């Protein structure tokens, strides 16, 4: 089997998410990290590449250099796709250039820096027929896929209510005033964009809500706060939501819930029952019924939908975690890309990974929730193209 060759943009020594992407890309043996531009500092980039076992010739000083050089390589050597893991303000340009040079793209969320960029990217993807994956991790979990399918199959009747939340505590203090690089760019409007927490984790919660419920948010009524003194961007927020088909909901996302880790959680209720999933117990899906005992669905259970078990690697009860959920996006992206390269179709299950549509809606969510946060109007219509 042919392995896909990946070039990475970003993910240098101080990064957190770059290493996650590399592991996720490695797990299933479908991808080989072949090239990279890991830092805006050329030496650091080379050093990182060497540490990762790359040939020196494939460690580049800038992404422009990498894309140009790789495009010039013979087809059986050059990378197939790039993985972009830089801060938000360095998403659009490298993604655009990569696509225009004929490379497929995996991009860390949120999609980009501004809504304008989002629309432009969408057009480029359309024009270039790029295979594109945006790494909203949580929809990669098998039990989240199971949840989506049960809702879609009508197991709960018409959906009525959605609660989604993402509580973190790590920005409870002014960490950005220390040397902490993660905190630093995430709280800087020139790097993050309009939103802090709403962009960083609010988009995850939003994406999860739309994915599982199968409904789309139509308006938002939000309270968005910068709780820690002197913080330039929001670190906390909550919103009332309306969705298509009369569904209503609540979204909560905060980075100042001191003592919380990353326990993103979703609950969806329909006429006959509901479901609950949370990352802290990621291999469990609680399914609740109006008139019967609740059920505990577990990763890998023989009773799960095919698409859920398609994303599982080990037998029931051996927990899979965050890296495997992340890896599922890489695996599905790779499967689709490999099929495309062979003018073939991938298994239907493989097409279920977040792409440009999810990316655009995420940017629209940021636009809408920040607008609502400062608006005196109760409901802000969800911004659409």
Which contiguous run of DSSP H or E holds residue 106? strand 104-107
Stretch that binds a copy of itself, among 113-121, 196-204, 282-290, 358-366 (CB under 8 A): 282-290
What does the DSSP 8-state code read for residue 138? G
Rule CB under 8 A: choose which of 59, 124, 197, 256 binds a copy of itself: 256
Provide the minimum distance between the beta carbon of 6 and a copy of itself in the complex, in angstroms, as a whole number: 12
What does the DSSP 8-state code read for residue 261? -
- Which residue, 72 or 294, has its beta carbon nearer to a copy of itself? 294
**Considering the rule CB under 8 A, would residue 181 count as an interface residue with a copy of itself?**
no
Residues 85-124 that bind a copy of itself (CB under 8 A): none
How far apart are the C-alpha atoms of 325 and 311, rounded to whole Å? 8
Rule CB under 8 A: choose which of 41, 244, 248, 342 binds a copy of itself: 248
Cβ-Cβ contacts under 8 Å for 160 (sequence gap 6 or more)? 246, 247, 248, 269, 270, 271
**Considering the rule CB under 8 A, would residue 72 count as an interface residue with a copy of itself?**
no
Provide the minimum distance between the beta carbon of 74 and a copy of itself in the complex, in angstroms, as a whole number: 19
What does the DSSP 8-state code read for residue 346? P
Q: How far is CA 61 from CA 38, 69, 150, 348, in A?
A: 8, 11, 48, 39
CB 141 within 8 A of CB 297: no
**Considering the rule CB under 8 A, would residue 174 count as an interface residue with a copy of itself?**
no
Provide the minimum distance between the beta carbon of 54 and a copy of itself in the complex, in angstroms, as a whole number: 10
Provide the minimum distance between the beta carbon of 343 and a copy of itself in the complex, in angstroms, as a whole number: 20
**Considering the rule CB under 8 A, would residue 51 count as an interface residue with a copy of itself?**
yes
How far apart are the C-alpha atoms of 135 and 138, rounded to whole Å? 9
**Considering the rule CB under 8 A, would residue 172 count as an interface residue with a copy of itself?**
yes
Q: How far is CA 91 from CA 102, 106, 114, 134, 198, in A?
A: 17, 11, 10, 11, 17
Residues 11-40 that bind a copy of itself (CB under 8 A): 16, 19-20, 22-23, 26-29, 33
Provide the minimum distance between the beta carbon of 238 and a copy of itself in the complex, in angstroms, as a whole number: 5
Rule CB under 8 A: choose which of 44, 181, 191, 288 binds a copy of itself: 288
Residues 224-243 that bind a copy of itself (CB under 8 A): 225, 227, 236, 238-240, 242
Beta pairing partners, 268:
162, 275
Residues 298-357 that bind a copy of itself (CB under 8 A): 298, 301-303, 313-324
Which residue do the tokens 């909901």 mark? 249
CA distance between the termini of the chain: 41
Which contiguous run of DSSP H or E holds residue 162? strand 159-167
Provide the minimum distance between the beta carbon of 182 and a copy of itself in the complex, in angstroms, as a whole number: 9
How far apart are the C-alpha atoms of 11 and 21, rounded to whole Å? 8
How far apart are the C-alpha atoms of 44 and 53, rounded to whole Å? 14
Rule CB under 8 A: choose which of 160, 181, 191, 371 binds a copy of itself: 160
- As given in the structure block, the two tokens for residue 79 are 């990378």
- Which residue, 114 or 286, has its beta carbon nearer to a copy of itself? 286
Provide the minimum distance between the beta carbon of 348 and a copy of itself in the complex, in angstroms, as a whole number: 21
How far apart are the C-alpha atoms of 135 and 325, rounded to whole Å? 10
Rule CB under 8 A: choose which of 261, 342, 347, 381 binds a copy of itself: 261
Size of the site for a copy of itself (CB under 8 A): 94
């Amino acid at each position: 089997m042919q392995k896909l060759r990946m070039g990475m943009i970003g993910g240098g020594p101080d990064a957190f998410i770059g290493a996650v992407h590399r592991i996720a890309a490695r797990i299933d043996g479908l991808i080989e990290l072949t090239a990279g531009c890991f830092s805006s500092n050329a030496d650091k980039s080379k050093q990182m590449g060497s540490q990762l076992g790359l040939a020196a010739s494939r460690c580049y000083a800038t992404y422009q250099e990498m894309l140009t050089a790789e495009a010039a390589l013979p087809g059986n050597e050059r990378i197939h796709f790039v993985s972009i893991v830089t801060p938000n303000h360095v998403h659009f340009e490298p993604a655009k250039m990569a696509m225009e040079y004929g490379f497929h793209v995996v991009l860390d969320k949120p999609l980009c820096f501004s809504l304008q960029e989002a629309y432009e990217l969408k057009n480029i993807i359309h024009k270039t027929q790029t295979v594109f994956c945006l790494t909203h991790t949580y929809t990669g979990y098998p039990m989240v896929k199971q949840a989506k399918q049960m809702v879609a199959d009508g197991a709960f009747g018409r959906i009525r209510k959605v609660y989604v939340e993402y509580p973190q505590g790590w920005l409870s203090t002014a960490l950005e005033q220390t040397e902490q690089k993660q905190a630093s760019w995430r709280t800087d409007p020139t790097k993050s964009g309009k939103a802090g927490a709403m962009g960083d984790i609010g988009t995850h919660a939003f994406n999860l809500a739309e994915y599982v419920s199968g409904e789309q948010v139509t308006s938002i009524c939000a309270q968005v706060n910068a709780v820690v003194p002197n913080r330039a961007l929001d670190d906390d927020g909550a919103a009332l939501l309306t969705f298509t088909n009369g569904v209503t909901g609540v979204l909560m996302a905060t980075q100042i819930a001191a003592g919380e880790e990353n326990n993103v959680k979703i609950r969806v209720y329909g006429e006959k029952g509901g479901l609950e999933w949370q990352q802290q117990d990621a291999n469990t899906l609680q399914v609740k019924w109006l008139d019967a005992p609740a059920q505990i669905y577990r990763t890998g259970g023989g009773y799960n939908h095919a698409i859920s078990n398609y994303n599982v690697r080990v037998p029931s009860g051996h927990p899979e975690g965050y890296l495997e959920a992340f890896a599922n996006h890489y695996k599905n992206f790779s499967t689709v890309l490999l099929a495309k390269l062979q003018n073939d179709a991938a298994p239907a299950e493989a097409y279920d990974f977040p792409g440009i549509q999810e990316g655009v809606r995420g940017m629209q969510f940021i636009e809408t929730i920040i607008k609502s946060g400062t608006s005196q109007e109760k409901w802000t219509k969800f911004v659409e193209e």
